Structure 1
Amino acid sequence: MVVCTQTHRQQAVDLALRVADEMDVNIGHEVGYSIPLETCCSSDTVLRYCTDDMLLREMMSDPFLEQYGAIVIDQAQERTVSTDILLGLLKGILLQRPELRVVVITVRPMTDKLLGHFGRIPLISLEASHPAEVVHSNSDNKEYFYLALRLVLEIHQAKEDGDVVVFFASAKEVDCAQSILERERTRLGADLGEMVPLVLNPGQVGLLPFMTNQQGFKKPRRVFISTQQGEDMWCAIESINFVIDAGVQKKMVYNPRIRANSEVVRPISQCQADIRKRLSGPTGKCFCLYPEESELPAENPPQILESNITPTVLFLKRMEIAGLGQCEFIDQPDPEGLMQALEELDYLAALDDDGNLSEIGIIMSEIPLDPQMAKALLASCEFDCASEMLTIAAMLSAPSCFLKPSTGLTLEAVRCHRKFQHPEGDHFTLINIYNSFKQNQRDQHVSTEKWCETYFLDHSALKTAEAIRSELTDTLNRIELPISDPSFGTKTNTLNIKQALMAGFFMQIARDVDGSGNYFILTHKHMAQVHPLSIYGAQSQKLGLPEWVVFHEYTLSENNYIRTVSEMSPQVFIQMAPVYFFYNLPPSESKDILQGVLDPDTSRKHKDEKQKAAPISGDANSGCGATPQTYDRCVIQ
């Protein structure tokens, strides 16, 4: 069999459909595809398209990919974590399977790196078509947003044929641009024809609506508004005649020291710029809203250098068990990020004393979730709340279910969302939403689409959560873990959910230090606010702010927010967190409070010692070195 990887799931589906059509075969037979939550293949399949992460999951059961005679890695220049791992592991697989054929499709300068990585290998170069006419800005225009919108309107008013693609820096800019263009299109004269702005992500290219005028007049001009990455996928749209490129992008970069993503603004790479210039073909125009002499980085930065690699390390540990040696990365991960990942897996009891995967780590690697959520799901099987934790994991893995209302309907959306709010926190609110969605499916009073529209919820996100939950349930059944009957709403169940959450997310606990919503994060001593969409953000006056919380995500941006927040007691933290993690927390007033909960007598003794001899009281490990040995490393272990 031949397999071809893609970085976007929709691209894998589109290519499979296109090739099946050209080969005049039925999809799912000789040609098929495999993407997260959906597989369309059979025993007859000889050519399969899949996402790069799906091929990695296959390697857990077939580490040397023995069912394949040829592997095609497409879009290698995007440097996703999964693609880089595949390229690293394939180098070792080729030593074991010299008959295997590997084809890597990319653009320069990535070709030079691949030649250095794999050694003496054939290189086939395809000459690119001549780019369109390129117009650069005379200055580094910081007002690129409004300049891009003016260009769109000028192109439309000039009545030139062809669709337009506009690349902005962020999703927020994309939404704002669509809103402005929707407003402006109503002011355009009928003689100019219709202009339709469309917000699209790279993975949605295959879903583009084919729009024609009902009366048979001129087809409306489509203005595609998108963000960075996936530029080569737009080549499928032959009607594009104009490209407007802002030349900058906003990316989330992971900081291992504080276990958080931060938003950074940076120029696009020269590789991205070259692809964008060729999208409109030799007869079109590309407007680059930056000077021609601007120094752009040569290639996209590898995501493995900017992401949380804890899931990657867990996977590679699993591959070592399967017989594969060390992964030879094209770009080595950051040592600090690697150490943080190993430390986190150790805290989660996924590693044994020799640094290999423990039994818990092996089970965690089977579950297609990040390690913290996988550990929480495992713990829920012990605390008889697996049904509820499956829902939480699915809702947090799917896109946000909350729709952003149009102007004027914000208060109505808040009122509707308030009906689902649970006083214990956002994790419990997500269960309420999912259960209500499923109840409506069973009752069938109205269609699920209409129900979601009424309550300002995203129907596709909830359907995705439903599919993820089904997949996770199948995984737990396959590895023979017990799934308890639902008992959501009881006091016992509420406590059990909190214990299971804390088993995985004890590294994400915060305390309100002044009663006004200023939360102190214990692991790195940063201050943060609760996100406005949280029940504690919108309803703080009604519910009151809890002193201690567990959160799912912390992001450094314009406002430092913790998201998906639920109330948590210090007692549950002390019960579920490994003691050797607790003693590694940096000193703080909040840690002293927890120390008092753990051992009141020792806490008073240390307090007296601090007053008598402050200089020698800073080393928590020296004062309590014998204490951790009396505790298990982790309750579930």
Structure 2
Amino acid sequence: MDVLSASELRCLFSWHRGSPDAQTACCPGVMEENLSHLVLLLKRLDIADMGQCKFLDRPAPEALMQALEDLDYLAALDDDGNLSEVGIIMSELPLEPPLAKSLIAACEYDCVDELLTVAAMLTAPSCFAAVEASRKEAAVALWRPVMHDAGDHMTLINVYNAFDEAWCSANFLSHAALRLAVVIRAELLDVMQRIELPVSPPAFGSPDNCTNIKRALLSGFFLRVAHDVDGSGNYLLLTHRHVAHLHPFSSYLCLQPSPSPPSWVLYHEFTISSDNCICIASEVHPQMLVELAPQYFLGNLPASDGKELLMDLRQSLAPPSADLDSQEHNKTQKDSSETHSQPSTELCAVQ
């Protein structure tokens, strides 16, 4: 049996995934690539000795170790390195692991209907047609009515809910890409029903729905968070230590009047190019990061101004009982030290 190349394995095990926005045409560059989806499926197939890379034509230990680390952060692996219950469910979904984890988390936040749409739109090729430079302003003007002020993920839901063939033709949108998104969404829904995951009814537009969508997305994409370091849209990718900017077609840049750049964003992917674009970004509150992934953001995240801000936020959010406990602990230590000067009978009484 011939040894498969890495590219052949990726084609065998993964969806054809186009860029989720018009960044492919406007921000050509190297896309962030990760083997976590491939490793997840290989784990499901119980392929052993992955560290030896026997299934690849060239060893890539760094990429494999990074993929295993990412899966561990997503709770897809147990203490022995095997698939956890969450990892088994994630492997059932034909999605990249962060997106699969987000879809599972949506069951908890009652936004499964919306996450199915987001997952389908992010998995299908870009629905935004490539336009010539001279027609970009016209295209943005046509896209603006469906752009959502809560972020680009909500914009994708708006586009999906509004499209039809005539509307796509008139608005520089790809009808074929959106039709594929419909097929992908239907398949994802079938998988969820087959494995008996709860599917909540549509609630897009309700007061808490956008917040719940972002919480579900953060459950899977907490490794893809960026912080505006100077208030002018220069984003430091917390995990990669790379500075990037919002994509020119992001709703935060195209809406009128244009809002201030969000301080913290969750992004789907980024391009390493002359423009260094963050693609598909939605504002998140740093409190969500502290609540949903404290182990990563307060522990494993490399030192940075962003981490210090999160540490300060965690301290400010500490419940009053924590302060009382700290005071009581200090008092106990003081009392204990004082007992060393007392007779042994008193010491026994304190103990």
User: In the alignment, is the contact (CA less than 8 A) between 2:6 and 2:57 conserved in 1?
Assistant: no
What residue number does 2:275 align with?
559
2:104 is aligned to 378
Q: Secondary structure at the match of 2:279?
A: strand
Taking structure 1 as the reference length, the TM-score comes to: 0.45
- Do the aligned partners of 1:347 and 1:581 also contact (CA within 8 Å) in 2? no
SS of the residue aligned with 1:422?
coil
Asked whether the equivalents of residues 117 and 185 of structure 2 are also in contact (C-alpha less than 8 Å), the reply is yes
Q: Which amino acid in the other structure matches residue 544 of structure 1?
A: S
Structure 1 position 435 matched with structure 2 position 161: yes
Pair 1:593 & 2:322 matched: no
Q: Tell me the residue number matched to 2:289.
A: 573
Residue matched to 2:176? 460
Whether the 8 Å CA contact 1:386–1:483 is kept in 2: the answer is yes
**Which of 83, 86, 109 does residue 357 from structure 1 map onto?**
83
- C-alpha spacing 1:84/1:501, structure 2 compared with 1 (3 Å): closer
Q: TM-score, normalised by structure 2?
A: 0.80
Q: Corresponding residue for 2:248?
A: 532
Judging changes above 3 Å, is the alpha-carbon distance between structure 1 residues 479 and 509 closer, same or farther for their aligned structure 2 residues? Answer: same
Q: Secondary structure at the match of 2:208?
A: helix
Residues 129-528 of structure 1 aligned to structure 2 (within 5 Å): 252=30, 261=32, 307-320=33-46, 324-326=47-49, 328-406=54-132, 408-437=134-163, 448-528=164-244
Q: Is the 8 A contact 2:231 2:263 kept in 1?
A: yes
Distance in 2, Cα, partners of 1:561 & 1:83: 26
The answer for the alignment partner of 2:329 in structure 1 is none
* Per-residue deviation, residues 517-546 of structure 1 (Å, max 9, x unmatched): 101111132211111111123348522211
Deviations 1:340-397 (A, max 9, x none): 1111001000011111110000000000000000000000011100000000000010
Q: Tell me the SS of whatever aligns to 2:300.
A: coil
Equivalents in 2 of 1:338, 1:78: separation in Å?
11
Residues 84 and 329 in structure 1, CA contact (< 8 A), matched pair in contact too: no
* Amino acid aligned to 2:199: I
* Offset from partner CA, 1:139-183 (integer Å, 9 cap, x none): xxxxxxxxxxxxxxxxxxxxxxxxxxxxxxxx96xx9xxxxxxxx
1:545 aligns with 2:261: yes
The answer to which structure has the higher helix fraction is 2
* Structure with greater strand share of residues: 1
2:9 matches 1:81: yes
Q: Percent identity?
A: 49
Distance 1:338 1:581, change over 3 A: farther
Asked if structure 2 preserves the Cα contact closer than 8 Å seen for 1:347 and 1:578, the reply is no
- Note if 1:584 corresponds to 2:300: yes
Q: Helix, strand or coil for the counterpart of 1:409?
A: helix
Distance 1:462 1:565 in 2: 20
The alpha carbon displacement at 1:81 in A equals: 2.5
| Maintained 8 Å contact 1:391/1:431 | yes
Unaligned runs of 5+ in 2: 14-23, 319-351
Q: Deviations over 1:586-617 (max 9, x none)?
A: 11111111011212399xxxxxxxxxxxxxxx
What letter matches 2:195 in structure 1? I
Find the aligned partners of 1:527 and 1:409 in 2 and give their Cα distance. Answer: 29
Asked if the contact 1:524/1:586 (under 8 Å) is kept, the reply is no
Distance 2:139 2:310 in 1: 39
In structure 1, stretches of 5+ residues that fail to align are 1-71, 86-170, 176-249, 253-259, 262-306, 438-447, 603-637
Aligned residues: 304
**Distance between the aligned counterparts of 1:496 and 1:601, measured in 2?**
20
State the structure with bigger RCO (CA 8 A, min sep 6), 1 or 2.
2
| Deviation of the 1:450 alpha carbon | 1.6
Q: Which segment drifts farther, 371-380 or 324-333?
A: 324-333
Classify 1:407/1:567 alpha carbon distance in 2 versus 1 (closer, same or farther; 3 Å): closer
Q: Distance in 2 between matches of 1:478 and 1:523?
A: 35
SS of structure 2 residue aligned to 1:351: coil
CA 1:330–1:429 in 2, change beyond 3 Å: closer, same or farther?
closer
Q: Deviations over 1:181-217 (max 9, x none)?
A: xxxxxxxxxxxxxxxxxxxxxxxxxxxxxxxxxxxxx
CA drift at 1:77 = 7.7
Partners of 2:108 and 2:117 in 1: CA distance: 16
Return closer, same or farther for 1:451/1:488 CA change in 2, 3 Å cut-off. Answer: same
**Which residue of structure 1 aligns with residue 325 of structure 2?**
none
Question: Match of 2:146, SS?
Answer: coil
1:612-631 alignment runs, 5 A limit: none
- Residue pair 2:127, 2:174 contacting (<8 A) in 1 also: yes
CA distance in 1, matches of 2:281, 2:145: 18
Task: Indicate the RMSD between aligned Cα atoms, in angstroms.
Answer: 2.6
Give the direction of change, closer, same or farther, for the CA distance of 1:577–1:336 in structure 2 (3 Å limit): same
- Please name the residue that 1:302 is paired with: none
Match of 1:528, SS state, is strand
The residue that corresponds to 2:331 in the other structure is none
CA distance in 2, matches of 1:370, 1:354: 22
What one-letter code is carried by the residue in structure 1 that aligns with 2:9? V
